Amino acid sequence: MTDKRGIEVRNIGKSFGATRALDGVSFDFKPGEIFAMVGANGAGKSTLIKIICGYYPDYEGEILIDGELKQFSSPHDATNAGIATVHQIINQGVVQTMTVRENLALAELLNGDGGSVLYRPAQIDARAREIAAKMGLDDIDFDQEVSELEQSERQMIAIARALATNPKMLILDEPTSSISERETEKLFETLFRLKEMGVTILYVSHRLHEIERIADRVGVIRDGTYGGVLDAPFNVRQIVTAMVGEIEHVDRHAPVIDGSQTPKIEVRDLVIEAGQPPINLKIHKGEIVGVTGLIGAGKSELASVLFGLTQPVSGEILVDGVPIYSKSVRAAIDNGIFMVPEDRANNAVVADFTIRQNITLPFLQKFFSNPLGLLKHGHESREATRMVKAMGVKCESELSNIGELSGGNQQKVVVARWLMTTFNLLILDEPFQGVDIRSRHDINAHIHANRGDRAILMLAADLDEVLEVADRVVVMNHGQIVGEQHITDIDRDTLLHWTSQSPEDLKLQA
């Protein structure tokens, strides 16, 4: 006979070769609670999640459900036991070559009798719409291929499908890293309903203000070991201290802007899409400008034009007062415009390359000797090692495969790539997705200490992340700039009002 004790993990240990990822970690997850798990990148959170959901069947310790010992040999076993997981890397949770409808109803597609799979369009459509309705996905195109969707839409599909299994335990790893504030609110409403129904929710996020708001308890993992549990009420500072100890203050010295000086970067009457108003923006030498707004406000579209990924309808981009024309990414890089893209896994990291190769990739010509055209490995190695040390990347060496690193350390490598050499403009598009507070601090500190007379543009939907970094905050809404404030004169209510204005409000304001 079992008792309803929920899910327990006892003395969990896991090694990868000589690396000890987890050592004697124990937590209990109660029915009807939101249990947040925190820890620095590489602390072992994802490893523990993968053990609970059956991804790693070989581990030390025990998993118990309602007091009964369980041993999962596959994710399928864990799913059958009532454990549903949405992993941090969204593309692992969707089939990009399938439609939205097929992704939502994937379980039905795979439930063939006697090994056969029959495609029943009416049943698949009905089930997909039922699943979508639970997450409020009313305006999504069911016929669209998932590869064509935004990252946030893929995230919502993966979450909706996980909820469709009516799980005993729902594990969410960085669920809000790429979804809008409105979508986040929908998710939280759903989590609160599940909590009332007795579902156990294991919530992993680096957005500590979310954890402060929704979690009943917080479990801490530090360097692969048990770091304690906090019971509500708690605040962000207490969570940070439990995770990494005290963090030193980043020295921020916003430059004094002389309006008569030529801006380092100027966007002049730039029309990104036909029918949209022109964008005008100046970034002065040594200035970090943060652009915020809801997902879909036009931030990433602006970044794409600046980095040569897409071409504007009209307008100019000027560097030190001189117009430049970036017809391609290569041309943008040659013009000294670099970008850390939003989707690290798909658009920044080369998974099969070493850390060194990932850092030096855009600038390989710098490391070739002429006239023989041989790669100067010593020079390349010294530069990569310098940046690894400067950014505080945790790794065995710069020859380690980047896939061995945690998400935060991978992001440090991507940022290091573009800070290795001089630039005119560095664009950081959602640079803190899936990045812990320590790694955020390290990236932020390095950028502030090495900005020099260069221009930096940071784009993020999370206002708190922008305020951590920027000297000036610019708000975009429906493809246009609707207001800005200097960091010394921030009014959060006004900034949030600007982000949430409707198109009708903007027309009346114009």
With respect to residue 255, please indicate whether it lies within any of the assigned structural domains: no
Q: Could you list the residue range(s) of the whole structural domain that residue 484 is in?
A: 265-509
Q: Tell the residue number behind the tokens 């209990």, with chain if given.
A: 28
130 and 173 belong to one structural domain: yes
Q: 244, 278, 306: which is the final residue of a domain?
A: 244
Nearest to 332 by CA among 424, 422, 421: 424
- Look at residue 257 and tell me if it is in a domain: no
C-alpha 216/C-alpha 214 separation (Å) is 7
Query: Quick one: 187 and 334 in the same domain?
Result: no
| Cα 500-501-504 angle, rounded to 5 deg | 150
Q: Match 């997981």 to its residue by tokens.
A: 85
The answer to the question of residue 252 being in a domain is no
Domain end point (choices 244, 276, 298): 244
Amino acid (one-letter) located at 165:
T
Q: Which of 210, 244, 278 is the last residue of a domain?
A: 244
Residues 162 and 18 in one domain: yes
Q: Are residues 323 and 379 in the same domain?
A: yes
* 20: in domain: yes
CB 209 within 8 A of CB 492: no
C-alpha of 490 from chain center: 25
Per-residue pLDDT of the chain (510 residues; tens, 9 = 90+): 345 678 999 999 999 887 889 999 999 999 999 999 998 877 889 899 999 999 999 999 999 999 999 999 998 899 889 998 888 776 667 888 888 888 888 877 766 544 445 567 888 888 888 888 877 777 788 888 888 887 778 878 888 888 887 889 999 988 887 777 777 888 888 889 889 989 899 999 888 889 999 999 999 999 899 999 999 999 988 988 888 777 666 667 777 777 778 999 999 999 998 888 999 999 999 999 999 988 788 898 999 999 999 999 999 999 999 999 889 999 999 999 999 988 777 777 888 899 999 999 888 877 776 666 677 778 888 999 999 988 888 888 888 899 888 778 888 899 899 988 899 999 999 888 777 787 888 888 888 888 888 999 999 988 888 988 999 999 999 889 999 999 889 898 899 889 887 766 666 665
Q: What pTM value is reported for the model?
A: 0.69
Domain assignment of residue 301, yes or no: yes
- Do 200 and 6 form a contact (C-beta atoms < 8 A)? yes
Domain for residue 260, yes or no? no
**Which tokens hold the place of 134?**
């639970």
Domain count within the chain: 2
